Structure 1
Amino acid sequence: MNDIFHAVFSTQGFVLGTLVPFLFVLTVVVFVHEMGHYLIGRWCGIGVKAFSIGFGPELVGFNDRRGTRWKLCAIPLGGYVKFVGDMNATSSQPSAEEIESLTEAEREVAFHTQPIWKRAATVVAGPLFNFLLTIAVFAVLFSLYGRPVLEPTVAQVTAGSPAEKAGIQPGDRFVKVDGSKVGTFADVQRLVSGRAGDAITFTLLRDGKEIAVTATPEPMEQQDALGNKVKVAVIGVVNNAELGQPRLISYT
């Protein structure tokens, strides 16, 4: 009996905690993407037969005054805009016979009879609207919650590193890198990462006083976010969340 309850509640947790949010986000992304195709297509004078969220059997729908069928379908794993002249799901070039089967009015607004710039604009509009959605989402998040950053404070110095040779100590706070002010640990990494072999002057705050030291970064092989091996310059200092005192940068 316990196994049955565990299975039921595990399934319920997966559906409510993972599947439903995933489908909601997917639906929003698909809607914005297809709306991009629709709006720019309409602006270019291309006729639209259907705007669908989901595939398969239609659950609900209605026709607008332009004759476009707006519908929500049973399988919420995508969507599509069907333009006048689309003979298949890929919107590939119809045959001469298929074009001839259209009425004169349909041929005037069919997707494949439009100038190439109108077709290109309509195709590009979908990804472009998704890009704009991403910007809008991050703008709202940063405005509401800010962006977490770490203070430019040294938590640990690697033995034998350029930082140790220069006299940098745990607890030191970076103030400037070669005269450029830094406000976060990421600023220090950014100013150092491309300067292997260059002598860099670091202004540090130690015990309430500013001191200047010089260190020469060494190249180090690391993996980037895509798994590619890249070489970056490092001086051998480590920051952590405890000493770095995470804070939020507000954009409001």
Structure 2
Amino acid sequence: MSFTATYYQPDPNISDFVSCYWTVENAVEGTTVTVVPDAFFELIISKEEGRAFEVSLVGLGTRFEADIEMPVTRMFGISFKLMASEYILGQPVAGIVDSAQALPQDFWGFCEDDLYDTARLIEKATQKIKQLIPEGIDPKKKKLFELLYASNGAVLVSEISEQTGWSSRQINRYFNRQFGVSLKSYGTFLRFRSSYRQLKEGRLYPEQNFSDQAHFIREVKKLSGVSPKELSKNENDRFIQFSGRHLK
């Protein structure tokens, strides 16, 4: 195949901060893909044919991007859960929603050679993230994200407020300031992400707190551009979940 996307589960010790690692390789110029939101922000290292080695931080994606033409490229990505922005990267990602920020080429000690040994690269990234995990994490924030990810975004803001002691206004202020989206919007992205997985398995009915089938179809079409049935077919691996914003 000219295009491959592979996903790797993180070490359990960093799973509060990392959703997965992934690699993308495209060997033929002109391959097109449709990128759909994945509910995470990403650190990407890449080497595109004819361009220098790059390291980028990519914010949350809030919309699908159809028919992106892939260059000949090799990429490695870390899909971060939201808590990593504050406790691992030490910066908000609100300013790079649907966009990317260039980082130094030697960020975290990465280099171009790392792209050709995925196992070594994953180990290198894992050890760096472990070193950066602080001893003290705000228990309210830890509880908030536990509820959010355990429910795949289906938990109510009022329930999070009750269990964390934060008001709904405080929670949404934190989300908008740190991540650039409201908690409700982020919950939609998480529900879609879970639905994307079930659709790939051929289950075409709502499973994640959608009020009815019509609501499910509307949300899937809004975030992917197509119906659940077409998304489930994923002909020629057309639909993928990684950051197309990096390719622009």
TM-score interval for Structure 1 and Structure 2 normalised by the shorter chain: under 0.3
TM-score, structure 2 as length reference: 0.22
Larger radius of gyration: 1
RCO higher in structure (CA 8 A, sep ≥6): 2
Whose strand proportion is higher, 1 or 2? Answer: 1
